[in-house]
Amino acid sequence: MVVRREANLKRRFLSLLVLVGACMWCFANASAQWLDIKLPGTPRLADGKANLRAPAPKTADGKPDLSGVWRAAEGKWLASLAVDEGQPPLQPWAATLYKERVANDGKDRPSGRCLPHAVPDNMMVRSAPFKIIQTAGVVVLLFEEMNNFRQVFTDGRSLPTVREPTWLGYSVGKWEGDTLVVETAGFNDRSWLDNPGLPHTEAMRVTERFTRRDFGRLDIKITIDDPKAYTRPWSANAVFDLTPDTELLESICENEKDYEHTIK
């Protein structure tokens, strides 16, 4: 028992070192570029710093403008997407798979092999922000990690008939007052919903409600509806902080170099 416990502790420690090393790489590179940018349209305090509590900006048609570089306010959502509701209502097979992934410290997570994070998992990586670009007919989300992107079409189209499931699905959006409601479907079943390994199937649909409460804060309510993996729809609420006066950096997953150092 002592030997097994020591082996488990060693495995967890080495896995943590890999993750910490990756995060340190991100922060080291982030400090090397895009310094001292004064982006136009940013409200300022008397000392010249961005006023993050100023009113949310508006587009020409009066809609809230979600544009900006955003970062999860806390790391808890990546660690457990369901933190606000406790354990998600998993179907028995999904509960078994989730327990296996947790017991293995998530060693087989797709991102460890340079494969994409899920929706909404890709927004939860604090060391790698994402950028929203809002236009009249489409809202684009650019993800620093692995240089992925999403398109949310707001031109009135419906979700397509999915012939080829994808990692990030297909998204359409509409405005309900000051909230952008995004519906996404057409996923493959290979991604994880959070870092420990919440599973899903190709039947999953994700609803995200984006609300910019002021210049520096963005709230997103996320609802997962996957009757093949969960007994009912469930939701989580996440908060994001604007990262002012900066831009995204190139971040490439280099041929799975970290994966060989994980404990199998």
User: How remote is the C-alpha of 93 from its chain's centroid?
Assistant: 25
**Nearest to 66, CA basis, from 165, 170, 138:** 138
User: Does residue 2 fall inside a structural domain?
Assistant: no
Residue 79 · residue 196 · CB < 8 Å: yes
Lowest-confidence pick of 7-21, 53-67, 144-158, 185-199: 7-21
pLDDT tens for residues 229-245? 999 999 999 999 999 99
User: How remote is the C-alpha of 234 from its chain's centroid?
Assistant: 17
Domain count across the chain? 1
User: Does residue 15 fall inside a structural domain?
Assistant: no
Averaged confidence pLDDT in the chain: 85
pLDDT tens for residues 14-56? 444 334 344 433 443 444 456 668 899 999 999 999 999 999 9
User: Does residue 218 fall inside a structural domain?
Assistant: yes
pLDDT for the residue 54: 98
pLDDT tens for residues 91-139? 999 999 999 999 999 888 998 889 998 899 999 988 889 999 999 999 9
User: Does residue 10 fall inside a structural domain?
Assistant: no
User: Does residue 29 fall inside a structural domain?
Assistant: no
Domain of 64 in residue numbering reads as 37-258
Which 3-state string (H, E, C) describes the chain? CHHHHHHHHHHHHHHHHHHHHHHHHHHHHHCCCCCCCCCCCCCECCCCCECCCCCCCECCCCCECCCEEEEECCCHHHHCCCCCCCCCCECHHHHHHHHHHHHCCCCCCHHHHCCCCCCCHHHCCCCCCEEEEECCCEEEEEECECCCEEEEECCCCCCCCCCCCECCCEEEEEEECCEEEEEEECECCCCCCCCCCCCCCCCCEEEEEEEEEECCEEEEEEEEECCCCECCCEEEEEEEEECCCCCCCCECCCCCCCHHHCCC
Q: Tell me the CATH number at 79.
A: 2.40.128.20
User: Does residue 21 fall inside a structural domain?
Assistant: no
Task: Report the predicted TM-score, pTM, of the whole model to 2 decimal places.
Answer: 0.84
User: Does residue 31 fall inside a structural domain?
Assistant: no
The torsion of the CA quartet 67, 145, 206, 160, rounded to 10 degrees, works out to 80
- Print burial letters for 63-74: b (CB count within 10 Å at least 16), e (below 16): ebebbbbbbbee
User: Does residue 150 fall inside a structural domain?
Assistant: yes
pLDDT for the residue 252: 84
